[in-house]
Structure 1
């Protein structure tokens, strides 16, 4: 039950983060910038995740690489954003702005294969 509520809450929050801001109009939300997302990921995520498509290095067993996240079956930008907004162990809570989250998610999605949804 807790897991279901947590997933539902993450989905709602992620949808709000990834979708355009309705009150301000659709043009007020800038397109995500994958390069800015890569910069944020290098600074905040690379201590645990491999953030490049092909990286040398070891990961903790329970921490996926960004490429693995992007290539998960049925992966969406909203699902990734939800996992950032409502983190799960061992991931710590990280204070990111809406724009930073959108940019990091856009960067992660660039690591997907051709059949994975991209921004």
Structure 2
């Protein structure tokens, strides 16, 4: 019984290490978004935005209940008729997703 209790304690202690951590650099994601996305989206909260309002702000995207790291990755890798296809590298995708997720806080 004691061995089982120790095993359970050790397993429980390692659970945080097994939790998936976010990858990507939000600061790099902001730079990419400012370069590529700011002509259609308001990229920073309270920042300058496009002349029209056809595209949602990054903050409103981040705050949608359906927005997760996974949903953003799927969306950004799927061609959309109203959005240019930037062919993001894995690192660029990670960075843009990390920036968008940072706006949830």
Q: Same fold (TM over 0.5)?
A: yes
Which residue does 1:12 correspond to in 2? Answer: none
How many residue pairs get aligned? The number is 84
Q: Aligned pair in 2 of structure 1 residues 88, 60: CA closer, same or farther (>3 Å)?
A: farther
* Residue 54 of structure 1 pairs with residue 59 of structure 2: no
TM-score, structure 1 normalization = 0.63
Bigger Cα Rg: 2
Matches within 5 A, 1:1-119: 31-58=23-50, 60-113=52-105
TM-score, structure 2 normalization = 0.70
Distance 2:79 2:93 in 1: 13
User: Gaps (5+ residues) in structure 1?
Assistant: 1-29, 114-119
- The root-mean-square deviation of aligned C-alpha atoms, in Å, is 1.8
